[in-house]
Chains A and B, each alone.
Chain A
Amino acid sequence: EPEVTQTPSHQVTQMGQEVILRCVPISNHLYFYWYRQILGQKVEFLVSFYNNEISEKSEIFDDQFSVERPDGSNFTLKIRSTKLEDSAMYFCAGSRGPMNTEAFFGQGTRLTVV
C-alpha cells in the first residue's frame, strides 16, 4: 500500500538554526499539508499546498516557516530560525482531492529544539 514518507524521524537542532523537514507524498496526491502536534496536545493545521502554491495557512505559519515542492515529488517544510516552542511532532499529509477524500498522514518527524 502506498504511504507518505517523512525524513528524518527525529531531528535535534539548536535554537536559531534552520531545519528542513522532508516528505514524499503518495504519487497521485495533489493536495499537501503540514500539521504539528506539540507533545500531549492536539494536532494543529499549519499549511495546505496545491498547484505549487499555498492555498491556506494558519496563524502558526508565520514568516519563519516556508514550504516548497521543488522537484514535483518532495514536499518540504523549512523553519528559518528555530525557537524552543517549535519543538513538536510535524506531520505531512496528502490527499487526492480537497473534500471528498481522506488525508493520508506520514509517520511524523519529531523536532526537538534545544
Chain B
Amino acid sequence: AQKVTQAQTEISVVEKEDVTLDCVYETRDTTYYLFWYKQPPSGELVFLIRRNSFDEQNEISGRYSWNFQKSTSSFNFTITASQVVDSAVYFCALSEMGYGGATNKLIFGTGTLLAVQP
C-alpha cells in the first residue's frame, strides 16, 4: 500500500525560527521518488524538490534542507530562519514506479499548514 503521512496539521513559528516539517511514507516499491510542494495562499502548487529512492544524500538549497532516511521511511523538510513569505501549506508526495509501464502519479500527504508570524 502506498501512503504519505504528514502528522503535523499546523505549525506556527515566529520569524527567524527554524522549523521542520515531517513526512513519513509507505511503499512496497524499491524504486520511487519523493517530492515536496508548496501551496501558498494564492493556491498554486510550487515544486520544491524531487528525490529518488537510491539517493539518500541530504540536500540544501538556500534556507531549505531535506533529510531523507530510508531506514525510517522519512523525508523531512527544514526551513532555516523562517520568513513570513514561507507561510503556506506544504505537501509531501510519493511517486512509485508502478507496473506494466511507468506511471508518474503523485500520492500526496494531507499537508502541513505553516504560519510564520512576524
Contact = CB atoms under 8 A, between A and B. Distances in A.
Say what secondary structure dominates the interface of chain B.
loop
Contacts, number: 65
Nearest to A105: B45
Interface string B33-46: 10101000011111
Interface stretch (B17-25, B69-77, B78-86, B96-104): B96-104
B104 to A, nearest CB: 5
A56 B103 contact: yes
B108 A44 contact: yes
Interface string A79-114: 000000000010101010111101111111010000
B95 to A, nearest CB: 7
A43 B97 contact: no
A91 B91 CA distance: 14
A75 interface: no
Given A42-B91, A43-B91, A103 B44 contact: no
B105 A45 contact: yes
B75 to A, nearest CB: 15
Given A102-B35, A104-B47, A42 B111 contact: yes
Interface residues of B, number: 28
Contacts of B37: 105
B52 to A, nearest CB: 8
Contacts of A45: 105-107
Interface in A34-48: 35, 41-45, 48
Interface residues of A, number: 28
A108 B37 CA distance: 14
B108 A42 contact: yes
Contacts of B110: 41-42
B68 to A, nearest CB: 16
Nearest to A56: B103
Interface of B: 31, 33, 35, 37, 42-47, 50, 52, 91, 93, 95, 97-98, 101-111
9 contacts: A42-B111, A43-B45, A48-B105, A56-B103, A95-B104, A99-B95, A103-B47, A105-B46, A107-B42
